[in-house]
Structure 1
Amino acid sequence: GLPFLAATAALWLWHLPAAYDAALGHKAVYWAMQASLLASAFAFWRAAFSQPHGAGALWVFGAYVTMGMLGAILTLAPKALYATHALTTDVWGLSPLADQTLGGLIMWMPAGLAYAAWGAMLAGRAWRSMRQAA
């Protein structure tokens, strides 16, 4: 559905290097990024939890896959993709590539587990609903 597509597009578009660097370089672009990510995520989760017959579980599974793909790309990239991180990661004792790898791993693994848990909950809800209807 449209909320899934909007949330996926916002996530991927804002992680394009030019868009990401623009957001970190300009306050107005940064707040536009935050607003679009928040609004699209809110619409996605609201729609996912209101879908009948397991469709919400499929939406969450799709989001799990797309978030995992982006996380894997960031984790496995052979070089840092974001120029702005060359100026910000020393404070944490990380190179820009190590920071990107860590961010990708967080998107890939812990975030993936959260999506898997919510998807399983929605699938269980759909299963119980179908069993009661039968």
Structure 2
Amino acid sequence: MSVSLFSARAVHHLLLASVAAPLFATAFPARRIGPLALPFILATLVFWIWHLPAFYDLALARSDLYWLMQASLLGSGVLFWRTLFASEAVPAMLGLVGAMAQMGLLAAILTFAPEPVYASHLFTTLPWNITALGDQQLAGLVMWVPGMVPYAVVFALLARRVWQRNAAFAG
């Protein structure tokens, strides 16, 4: 299904980057951390490179690149989340806002594009009774709404921690 439907592929990538990666990061916490900016930049570059139409279509055509795409999305995601979880609350919250912003930008591009972006899915959606453009728009909406939930939950937990710390300090 994820080979035929870009929306299924979006769910698959969200599960890698927004569910599996933070779970791995929690299971294997960072002992030493550097600045959050470096893992954020790496994860963002990996995310955008694999969503460029030429690279995405090539990855679906070649199994070695397909597995490189999966491994790099998961690996850069784990590095980002490990560093984020080991960071102070405010920089971590800024990292989450940045991650949500760049994912939201791609989601908007996919949702509002006037025509399909990925050649790989031009005809693969027909057996599912959906157009390639409709499938792409669904993928954008999946990234936009449920894709933001893990980031928003972690942001809210961090914001609560900051609020409690400030309330205890003031009181």
Q: In the alignment, is residue 96 of structure 1 matched against residue 132 of structure 2?
A: yes
Deviates more, 1:85-94 or 1:14-23: 85-94
Is the contact made by 1:54 and 1:127 (CA closer than 8 Å) also made in structure 2?
Answer: no
Distance (Å, rounded) in 2 between the aligned partners of 1:132 and 1:50? 22
- In structure 2, how many angstroms separate the alpha carbons of the residues matched to 1:82 and 1:9? 19
1:18-58 CA-to-partner distances (Å, cap 9, x unmatched) read: 00000111000100100100001111111111111421111
Structure 2 residue 132 is matched with structure 1 residue 69: no
1:7 to 43, 46, 52: 43
* Displacement of 1:109: 1.3
What is the identity, as a one-letter code, of the residue corresponding to 1:102?
Answer: L
TM-score normalized by the length of structure 2: 0.73
Alignment partners' CA distance in 1, 2:153 and 2:71 = 26
Work out the CA distance in 1 between the residues paired with 2:81 and 2:155. 11
- Asked if 1 retains the 8 angstrom alpha-carbon contact of 2:57 and 2:119, the reply is yes
Residue 77 of structure 2 is aligned to residue 41 of structure 1: yes
Amino acid aligned to 1:78: P
Distance 1:53 1:110, change over 3 A: closer
Deviation at 1:78, TM superposition (A): 0.3
Select which of 55, 58, 63 maps to 1:19. Answer: 55
Cα RMSD of the aligned pairs, angstroms, is 1.4
1:105 lines up with 2:138 in the alignment: no
Which 10-residue stretch deviates more, 28-37 or 85-94?
A: 85-94
The 1:55–1:72 alpha-carbon spacing in structure 2 relative to 1, beyond 3 Å, is same
Cα distance in 1 for residues equivalent to 2:90 and 2:64: 39
- Alpha carbons 1:52, 1:126 under 8 Å: kept: no
Aligned to 1:127: 163
Stretches of 4+ aligned residues off by more than 6 angstroms: none
The number of aligned residues is 134
**1 CA distance for matches of 2:110 and 2:64?**
25
* Deviation larger for 107-116 or 56-65: 107-116
What is the CA-CA distance between 1:130 and the residue it aligns to? 4.4
SS of equivalent to 1:80:
coil
CA contact (8 A) 2:89 2:158 kept: no
TM-score computed with the length of structure 1 as normaliser: 0.92
Contact 2:89 2:162 in 1 (8 A): yes
